[in-house]
Amino acid sequence: MEPIRFVTRAVLATIVIVVAGAAVARAQTPGAYVGESACLTCHESQSYKGTAHAFTSNGRTPAATHGCESCHGPGKAHVDGGGDKTKIATFKSMTPQQSTAQCTPCHNRSSHALWSGSQHDNRNVGCVSCHNVHAPEGPKLLKTKTETTTCAPCHRNVVNKQNRLNHMPVREGAMACSACHNVHGAQNVRLLKTGTTVDESCASCHAEKRGPYLWEHAPVANACVTCHDAHGSNNDRMLVAKQPYLCQRCHVTSRHPPTVYDGYVMANSTNANKITGRSCVVCHQAIHGSNAPSGKAFLR
């Protein structure tokens, strides 16, 4: 009987100890969060009021869940440690992927759904590379006042193109980078946010070029960027090279297409109309495609 009693007592004791210990442990869980007001005691300037994160009526937001600790993790250890930075998630000390992992549990929908594996993600660009939740300067919680100044540090040579003679209305304030690109990932190439090809993206605004046409022009069907620089160019109509020389890169036939169009022709021959003004497209105006039965060579 004695061994049975011993075992019974031991088992009971074990059960009691384990269950009581677990209860104590669980009782510690809510204590790991200290609440937003505790955070603001020291970090008063780090509020996120005025942003969508602050909507308490939306159950998904930080304000409706754990406040500051929704993104920075439970703060009790940080507070108990006298502000020990190693006891709290600080974005400044994280890698881009680590900081992004704090955002993507919520921001993984809609325009952010294709972030993982996207071009910026693959190059160690994280959310906080461009966004500042606490002190945004621009729209969409951007760190700078405009999209252009956000993109410029890495894409300076592209941003500079908006100052060229022929450009999209970006520097006039009528367009921004996000008019064409979804920097968070896209099903189209080059992070183009609309359509599935370059042409579909461009034709979303320039629908008159969409076609399809009776007579198609091969480089147009391939991609608009064969002939155009969408970011800006010093050539007319944002072409990558001046006409007629752009056209002469492909049209090496006979008679007028491969003619030498120089200053002498310009001064002495009616072939000057291939050099001045609209150049080739003064005749071949339907260059993006023609719907005319006699539209061969895009003359009609």
Of residues 133 through 152, those in contact with other proteins by CB under 8 A are 152
Cα–Cα distance list, 188 to 50, 184, 201, 220 (Å): 33, 12, 8, 17
Residue 278 in the binding site for other proteins (CB under 8 A): yes
Binding mask 220-239 for other proteins (x = CB under 8 A): -xxx--x-------xxx---
Of residues 84 through 123, those in contact with other proteins by CB under 8 A are 92, 94-97, 101, 105, 108-110, 113-114, 116-118, 121-123
Of residues 157 through 196, those in contact with other proteins by CB under 8 A are 157, 160, 163-165, 169, 172, 174, 185, 187, 189, 195-196
Among 68, 213, 228, 238, binds other proteins (CB under 8 A): 213
Q: Which residues, 6 or more positions from 111, have their beta carbon under 8 angstroms from its beta carbon? A: 182, 184, 193
Give whichever of 183 and 275 is closer to other proteins, judged by the CB atom: 275
Alpha helices in the chain (DSSP H): 2-28, 36-42, 69-72, 76-80, 96-103, 119-122, 127-130, 147-151, 156-159, 198-203, 218-222, 263-268
Among 3, 7, 12, 151, binds other proteins (CB under 8 A): 12
Binding segment toward other proteins, per CB under 8 A, in 56-64, 71-79, 80-88: 56-64
**Secondary structure of 223-276 as H, E, C letters:** CHHHCECCCCECCHHHECCCCCCCHHHCCCCCCCCCCCCCHHHHHHCHHHHHCC
Give whichever of 3 and 263 is closer to other proteins, judged by the CB atom: 263
Residue 46 in the binding site for other proteins (CB under 8 A): no
For the bound state, the minimum distance from the C-beta of residue 133 to other proteins, rounded and expressed in Å, comes to 15
Give whichever of 3 and 174 is closer to other proteins, judged by the CB atom: 174
Number of residues in contact with other proteins under rule CB under 8 A: 145
Q: Which residues, 6 or more positions from 6, have their beta carbon under 8 angstroms from its beta carbon? A: none
- The tokens of 195 are what? 């359509």
